[in-house]
Amino acid sequence: MLLSFLTLVSKWAIPFLLLVIPIYSYVKKVPVYESFVEGAEEGFTTAVKIIPFLVGMMVAISVFRASGAMEYLTRVLDPLVSRLGAPSEILPLAIMRPLSGSGVLGMATELMRIYGPDSFIGRLASVMQGTTDTTFFVLTVYFGSVGVKKYRYSVITGLTADITGFFAAIYICNILFY
Amino acid sequence: MLNIIWLLLLASGIIIAALNGNIEVVTEAALGAAKGAVEVCFDLVGIMALWLGIMKIAEHAGVVGGIAKLMEPIMVRLFPSVPSDHPAMGAIILNISANMLGLGNAATPFGMKAMQELQRLNHKPDEASEAMCTFLALNTSCITLIPATIIGVRLSFDSSNPTEIVGPCIFATGVAMIIAVSLDYWFRKRSPWGRHR
């Protein structure tokens, strides 16, 4: 029931917007095609503007991931996390969460393949994947698109949200699924 | 802050790779990521153009302004430095709505549009304004009502109940969002990092 509703929404959301906005606007006497082109023009310049920011961030994250630094970090943080009721398999995912969206998805998929989607680890990995955004990607892309180089306290806010989401995920999963 | 994080990621990666005796992965990772970053940007061009085009139609029809008007009571409290009829408000609302529905590829163009509008109000163009920090606090911690991607993954592994994680996701993102918005408020109002002008 819930599943069919959710798939319905995610399947229809984009076609719905693409249908309703132009029709409504046409009725309102907006030159729809001309307006579309006018807006779309900005797509290229905006996307190109973020290249230097994204190259810098993705290179650093990628080197960090490939080096095996993650295993050291996992070993250091493991005693702390296991005390909170989270299995240590989940830790790399938590560390990766703010850094790389595709990395986290890959890790969550791998955990579900090994332990099954209905295991405690599989469920926790699912909740953590669905929790908070890839902070560094968002900051890099959004600030990059307007050329802002000093992010001020937004890095701390974003990371605090990630850590909070991580603990909240552990908490709620322990209550519901353990 | 970001200078240190960036340096730490890069330097610790290279040093640990060297200690592990596989320094060659660094070259491969660095060059691959540099190339990959440009590919990500070019993938964005078309999607950006599509959504910015649709958004411009909605703007001309007064839809964006209408939605912004509807949300005004909340928005003026969250963004006191932005005039309530400023186009940034509409773009922020569209971005957050797209995020909530799990429409990641629509969220990014709206978000970048919002940043451009906020940048017009920014007195120091190379520094984040307070409104930008609040927007990103909302954005990175945003409540997820439909975590579509992960439901899909669970479905593909034959989960007996693929959507059981929806409630927990809403809870966890809700808590994260409350903390992020509160912390942002504290930074803005009470901390020495806030700009009072």
> Does the pLDDT of residue B156 top 60, yes or no?
yes
* pLDDT given at position B26: 95
Average pLDDT over residues B34-50: 90
| Residue whose pair of structure tokens reads 């953590």 in the numeric block | A128
Share the mean pLDDT of chain B: 91
* pLDDT given at position A110: 92
- A127: chain B residues, CB-CB within 8 Å: 165, 168-169, 172
| Residue whose pair of structure tokens reads 């773009």 in the numeric block | B91
* pLDDT given at position B196: 52
What is the per-residue pLDDT across B11-24, written as a single tens digit (0 to 9) for each? 999 999 999 998 99
Each residue's pLDDT expressed in tens, for chain A with a length of 178 residues? 777 887 788 778 889 999 999 999 999 999 999 999 999 998 888 888 889 999 999 999 999 989 988 888 888 888 888 888 888 889 889 888 888 888 888 899 999 999 999 999 999 999 998 887 889 989 999 999 999 999 999 999 999 999 999 999 999 999 998 7
Of A64, A125, A133, A69, the C-alpha closest to A97 is A133
Number of alpha carbons in the 13 Å side-chain half-sphere of residue B35: 6
CA-based nearest distance B135→chain A, Å: 9
What is the share, in percent, of chain B residues with pLDDT greater than 70? 97
Of A97, A98, A82, A86, the C-alpha closest to A124 is A86
Closest residue in chain A to residue B154, using alpha carbons only: A117
CA-based nearest distance A88→chain B, Å: 19
Amino acid in position B14: I
* pLDDT given at position A7: 78
Tell me the pTM.
0.89
Give the angle A110-A133-A91 at the CA atoms, nearest 5°. 45
Do B49 and A41 make contact, defined as CB atoms within 8 angstroms? Answer: yes
DSSP letter at B124 equals S
* pLDDT given at position B7: 95
Of A22, A132, A169, A162, the C-alpha closest to B58 is A22
Average pLDDT over residues B54-59: 94
B173 at interface of A, judged by CB pairs closer than 8 A: yes
Average pLDDT over residues B102-128: 91
* pLDDT given at position A100: 85
What's the rounded Cα separation, in Å, for the pair B197 and A174? 46
> Does the pLDDT of residue B8 top 80, yes or no?
yes
Higher pLDDT, B91 or A70: B91
CA-based nearest distance A3→chain B, Å: 6
Number of H helices, E strands in chain B: 9, 0
What's the rounded Cα separation, in Å, for the pair A178 and A125? 14
Q: Which long-range contacts (CB under 8 A, 24 or more apart) does A71-74 make?
A: A72/B16
Is ipTM strictly over 0.90? no
Closest residue in chain A to residue B166, using alpha carbons only: A127
Encode chain A in three state secondary structure: CHHHHHHHHHHHHHHHHHHHHHHHHHHCCCCHHHHHHHHHCHHHHHHHHCHHHHHHHHHHHHHHHHHCHHHHHHHHHHHHHHHCCCCHHHHHHHHHCCCCHHHHHHHHHHHHHHHCCCCHHHHHHHHHHCCCCCHHHHHHHHHHCCCCCECCCHHHHHHHHHHHHHHHHHHHHHHHHC
Average pLDDT over residues B167-171: 93
* pLDDT given at position B197: 44
